[in-house]
Amino acid sequence: MKCIIFALAIFFTSTAAAQDYGSYTEEALTKELETLADGTRKVNVPMRDGVHLSTDVYLPKNAGDNLPTVFWRTPYNYNELAGARLRMAVETVSRGYAFVIQNERGRYFSEGEFKILGYPRTDGYDALSWVADQSWSNGKVGTLGCSSSAEWQLALAATDHPAHAAMVPMASGAGIGRVGEFQEQGNWYTGGVPRNLFFIWLYGVDNPLRAQLPRGLDQPMRAYISKYNDLDPKKPEIEWKEQIFHLPIGELLSSLGEPAGTFEELIARKPRDQGWFESGLYHDDESWGVPALWFNSWYDVSIGGNMTLFNHVRKNGADAQVRNHQYAVVGPNVHCKFWDLGPDTVVGARNMGDTSFDANKEIFAFFDRFVRGKASAFPNRTPKVRYFNMGENKWQSASAWPPKQAEDVKLYLHSDGAANSLFGDGRLSFEAPSGDQPADSFTYDPLVPVQTVGGGDCCNGGAVIPGAFDQRAVEARHDVLVYTSEPLEEPIQISGFVDAVLNVSSDAKDTDFSVKLVDVTPDGTAYIVDDTIHRARYRDGYDKEVFMEDGEIYEIDFTPMTTSITFQKSHRIRVEVSSSSFPKYARNLNTGGENYNESDPVTALNSIHHSEAAPSYVVLPVMK
């Protein structure tokens, strides 16, 4: 009889998911959470080294024990639940789950010293053990979160914790160290070029001299103090569009008066520094023990690394259960905007049409199966990959990424030696070059870099607005090479990884080369699709630096771009090539030195070759 009553309770709490909280204000959500849940705030959860992490627990009222748990871990301030965290707390307890949220070590009411990703292999593991040991727990935990709240989950998955039943990492690129040809070390790099977003992010997150509560305060006192002191320092506002030009870049934060901290440690590291492999990042030589539902975005950071990790886990998971239950959802949105998908979605300046996707429905169906044990909730027939195709503006599905129908086709760069700017003679063709073609050359001055306009980015203090924006203002520059196809006679859909191979030369010892894929509409609007960049010294791998010699031609195989788009009839495909995209990527000062500690740049004369002997091209995964 007791089992029947428990089964009925599960049934009724599951059907509570029919409640739509989408139109609720934050005030209404707060009241709803008070109605639905018994909350205990500022619990001190012990870690193995004696440090305590501040944790809030919300249990559905009158739910009894044997509860499945959704666990959200964050470096951000949740002293007053708001935004996505508040909505998820309500959604979770309304479905009969416990909702547990915790601050990482060294953040707000948690003790200890902050470190990016928050020690997932130890603190993360111990937190799951604590949840599983509670009297109300069924011993199974589903981890959930976006951005920082997703990224720590990756290294946790490598520990194969017995309570870790399922995970939903959303926009998790900064948790990836090395996977396949992506060696971005938590988005610190693309192609060996540092990205500025973490420089800015660390200003807001890293507080080496932070205030902490005295140890030994009990939970009621900690909860009481939190009502009038949230331990959230308010730093001065910075105009990052100006500050990001500061040289040397290694003094970007100290020049503001900031004490030395994480930034100064990381900026001196190279892509294969051992420190990256001793941190909280996940690397592809580790195990993976958890079924996962991945949410990614075309206009986010490290979409390529995310999809490569998805593929890696499908092949290298700890067992068949793990390998067979990896699912990916990829929308056209920017960072963590999975709950904003709907009719008439505009991403940047481009209308993507109806992008509707019920993220919460999918998340809790997945948890119902793997955390609650309801096998029918998320059936095996669920497509492994569901992705939004831009251009056609509709959701599609596939059994793999790239889809099996995708075939690699080379699209070659051509010109008569004057591809400079939108008004040059650069051309794209599926025909390979024959004989000699004159190279295209441009001057790269690090003090006047090419501006970043849109694309995949986030978290940079407003220095770059991500999304699909028109590139014509960038393409008007003489230091941007522009190669454009003829108007298409038929639509071309590409879905997968877009590789770029350039034959280059320079009169500098070292410089960068950037590549951008663009969709040009019949009226001339040039929407960015994706971009990539590579530092020439790392063309032979990240474990060594090889400098350039004037007059020599070198092949660079770039870190791939990743997308799904249909170039419609009468549209044109465009590829831009330059040596900077700032402030998305830190500038190469062209000296051959360390860059981060230098202030005096060198101007470089850079060339792109596209002859029969030294072709340059992009590889498109064309759907057949």
Distances (CA, A) of 26 to 31, 103, 158, 212: 9, 21, 36, 29
Q: Which helix (H) or strand (E) is 382 found in, with range? A: none
Residue 16 pLDDT class (50, 70, 90 cuts): very low
**Mean pLDDT, residues 115-124 taken together:** 95
Q: How many CA atoms lie within 13 A of 495 on its CB side?
A: 27
Look up residue 296 and give its two tokens.
């990614």
Tens digits of residue pLDDT in 234-271: 999 999 999 999 999 999 999 999 999 999 999 999 99
Please state, in angstroms and rounded to a whole number, the distance separating the CA atoms of residues 374 and 367: 9
Tens digits of residue pLDDT in 500-533: 999 999 999 999 999 999 999 999 999 999 999 9
Report pLDDT for 209: 87
Phi, psi of 186, deg, nearest 5: 70, 35
Report pLDDT for 5: 36
Report pLDDT for 356: 97
CATH number of this structure's domain 406-623, picked from the four choices 3.30.200.20, 3.30.70.20, 3.40.50.300, 2.60.120.260: 2.60.120.260
Q: Out of 199-213, 466-480, 577-591, 602-616, pick the least confident.
A: 199-213
Q: How many CA atoms lie within 13 A of 22 on its CB side?
A: 12
Distances (CA, A) of 531 to 29, 46, 300, 313, 502: 40, 44, 11, 25, 14
Please state, in angstroms and rounded to a whole number, the distance separating the CA atoms of residues 188 and 503: 26
* Whether residue 283 has pLDDT greater than 60: yes
Report pLDDT for 12: 37
**Bond before 332 cis per omega within 30 degrees:** no
- Domain borders along the chain are 2-186+281-398, 406-623
* Whether residue 606 has pLDDT greater than 50: yes
**Mean pLDDT, residues 466-481 taken together:** 98
Q: Please state at what angle helix 148-159 crosses helix 125-133, rounded to 10 degrees.
A: 80
Q: Is 460 helix (H, G, I), strand (E, B) or coil?
A: coil
Looking at 226-378, list the stretches that DSSP marks H as alpha helix, in order from N- to C-terminal side.
240-243, 262-267, 303-316, 320-324, 359-370
* Whether residue 2 has pLDDT greater than 50: no
* Whether residue 202 has pLDDT greater than 50: yes
Contact assessment for residue 192 and residue 181, using Cβ atoms and an 8 Å cutoff: no
Tens digits of residue pLDDT in 396-421: 999 999 999 999 999 999 999 999 99
Report pLDDT for 233: 87
Tell me the pTM.
0.94
Please state, in angstroms and rounded to a whole number, the distance separating the CA atoms of residues 561 and 518: 12
Tens digits of residue pLDDT in 286-319: 999 999 999 999 999 999 999 999 999 999 999 9
Report pLDDT for 207: 87
Look up residue 620 and give its two tokens.
């498109």
Nearest to 72 by CA among 141, 174, 160: 141
Report pLDDT for 531: 98
Bridge partners, 515 (sequence order): 532, 577
359-366 long-range contacts, CB within 8 A, separation 24+ = 359/295, 359/329, 360/91, 361/17, 362/293, 362/329, 363/144, 363/168, 363/293, 364/17, 364/91, 364/95, 366/142, 366/166, 366/168, 366/291, 366/293, 366/327
Contact assessment for residue 144 and residue 339, using Cβ atoms and an 8 Å cutoff: no
Mean pLDDT of the residues in the chain: 95
Is 406-623 in the same CATH topology as 2-186+281-398? Answer: no
Residue 15 pLDDT class (50, 70, 90 cuts): very low
- The architecture that CATH gives domain 2-186+281-398 is 3-Layer(aba) Sandwich (3.40)
477 CB neighbour count, 10 Å cutoff: 18
**Mean pLDDT, residues 604-620 taken together:** 98
Contact assessment for residue 449 and residue 241, using Cβ atoms and an 8 Å cutoff: no
Please state, in angstroms and rounded to a whole number, the distance separating the CA atoms of residues 199 and 252: 8
**Mean pLDDT, residues 381-388 taken together:** 98
Map tokens 């707390």 to a residue.
89
* Whether residue 123 has pLDDT greater than 50: yes
Residue 590 pLDDT class (50, 70, 90 cuts): very high
Phi, psi of 99, deg, nearest 5: -115, 120
Tens digits of residue pLDDT in 421-451: 999 999 999 999 999 999 999 999 999 999 9
Strands of the 37-46 sheet, one edge to the other = 37-46, 52-60, 98-103, 67-74, 137-146, 164-170, 292-299, 326-334, 385-389, 394-398
